[in-house]
Amino acid sequence: MSDRIPVAVLAATGSVGQRFIQLLDGHPMFEVVALTASDRSVGLLFSQACHWIISSDMPEWARNMIVKPTEPSSAAVPLVFSALPADAAKEVEPAFAQAGSMVCSNASTYRMEPDVSILFPEVNPEQAHIIPIQRRLRGWSGGIITNSNCTSTGLTVALKPLYDAFGIKKVFAVSMQALSGAGYPGVPSLDIIDNVVPYIKGEEEKVEIEPRKMLGRVEGDAIVNADFAVSAHTNRVPVVDGHTVVFSVELGQKTSLEQVMDALRSYQAPEVSRDLPSAPKPVIVLRDEADRPQPRLDRMTGRGMATVVGRVRPDSIYDYKMVTLSHNTIRGAAGGSVYNAELLVKLGYVK
């Protein structure tokens, strides 16, 4: 018998759900025992229900699984990975948490609740300790932890060393977001080929608040946001995978370019997160070419888990400006959730 932890993937047929299946194939700690989706897919073989859009083949074990309804009775497991849309997550994720599962969610539904962490092993593993508080407040034996919005991901990793070393006063960020971030089938081809769409519903609000929560800390029964301001513009561009964010930052103290580069280059994940199977090593890959990072060339850096930063230079209004790139369905979604789950196992919150 396998000694891996049995897990379920909720909304396994979508863009993020498929990434979960790819990343959990042969995972040393987790074994997928149930796949769920909407009523459209329930009862079908996964291979019939899922329009597979990932370049590696659909794993054999997944092909032959029957898609189950998205409810706790389908999967009494200690850990579930959720790729549910936000509206579907509202009822379903608490039901799993109540039934004793730890839910690692990609949905935005519970991200901003004060007792729910946007967990990020390279950045804020200490926020996992909100889980016993959440269990006490909500009467759950399981729990919910979330991933950030995929655009906040690379931005937050790049801000973390700067925040720790120098403090941050304000950030001005502009995103260029990949199509896979809109799920499948996502943005119609006639809207995006030869085009840039300067609006993504709800996205700017998320990017303006989530990095502050991720860099915040647990105080009493709640997570308190870090105290700096973010202004964001978000855009959809004709790139398949990989979100680019260009940003300018005003730091809390006078700092040389060399100090900024050193802080980025030498950043290490907190000790507890460093040796987990999904840990990116290094966390930040700092490129010094004038024209990098680029999504097509750099999104798979560190198996899609690293954050690539480049073009670090002085800013004429703020202090410094730079470019950050991260893979939206890997680091910004399924890979981030799997890394979170590895951390929760290590900390004893999933048994």
Ligand X SMILES: NC(=O)c1ccc[n+]([C@@H]2O[C@H](COP(=O)([O-])OP(=O)(O)OC[C@H]3O[C@@H](n4cnc5c(N)ncnc54)[C@H](OP(=O)(O)O)[C@@H]3O)[C@@H](O)[C@H]2O)c1
Q: Which residues bind ligand X (CB under 6 A)?
A: 11, 13-17, 37-38, 40-41, 70, 83-86, 88, 106-107, 150, 180-181, 183-184, 328-329, 332-333
Residue from 27, 50, 150, 327 carrying the catalytic annotation: 150
Selection from 102, 105, 107 nearest residue 140 by Cα: 102
Shortest distance in whole angstroms from residue 73 CB to ligand X: 14
The answer to whether 50 is a known catalytic residue is no
**Shortest reach from residue 279's CB to ligand X, in Å:** 19
Give the shortest CB-210-to-ligand X separation in angstroms: 11
Q: Are 286 and 215 in contact (CB under 8 A)?
A: no
Nearer to ligand X by Cβ, of 41 and 301: the residue is: 41
SS (H, E, C) the chain: CCCCEEEEEECCCCHHHHHHHHHHCCCCCEEEEEEEECCCCCCCEHHHHCCCCCCCCCCHHHHCCECEECCHHHCCCCEEEECCCHHHHHHHHHHHHHCCCEEEECCCCCCCCCCCCECCCCCCHHHHHHHHHHHHHHCCCCEEEECCCHHHHHHHHHHHHHHHHHCEEEEEEEEEECHHHHCCCCCCHHHHCCCCECCCCCHHHHHHHHHHHHCCEEECCEEECCCCEEEEECCECCCCCCEEEEEEEEECCCCCHHHHHHHHHCCCCCHHHHCCCCCCCCCEEECCCCCCCCHHHHCCHHHHCCEEEEEEEECCCCCEEEEEEECCCHHHHHHHHHHHHHHHHHCCCCC
Closest separation in Å from C-beta 307 to ligand X:
15
Q: How far is the CB of 86 from ligand X (least distance, A)?
A: 5
Sheet holding 5-10, edge to edge: 68-69, 30-37, 5-10, 79-82, 102-105, 143-146
Smallest separation, CB 184 to ligand X (Å)? 4
Comparison of 201 and 351: residue with beta carbon closer to ligand X: 201
Residue 150 or 323: the one with the smaller Cβ distance to ligand X is 150
Rounded Cα distance between 225 and 111, Å, is 12
For residues 286 and 256, what is the distance between their CA atoms, to the nearest angstrom? 17
152 or 248, CB closer to ligand X? 152
For ligand X, which is the closer residue by CB, 214 or 286? Answer: 214
Has 150 been annotated as catalytic? yes
The owner of tokens 């004429």 is 316
Of 127 and 152, nearer to ligand X (C-beta) is 152
150 versus 245: smaller Cβ distance to ligand X = 150
**Selected catalytic residue, list 27, 50, 104, 243:** 243
Minimum CB separation of residue 143 from ligand X in Å reads: 18
| Catalytically active residues, by annotation | 150, 243
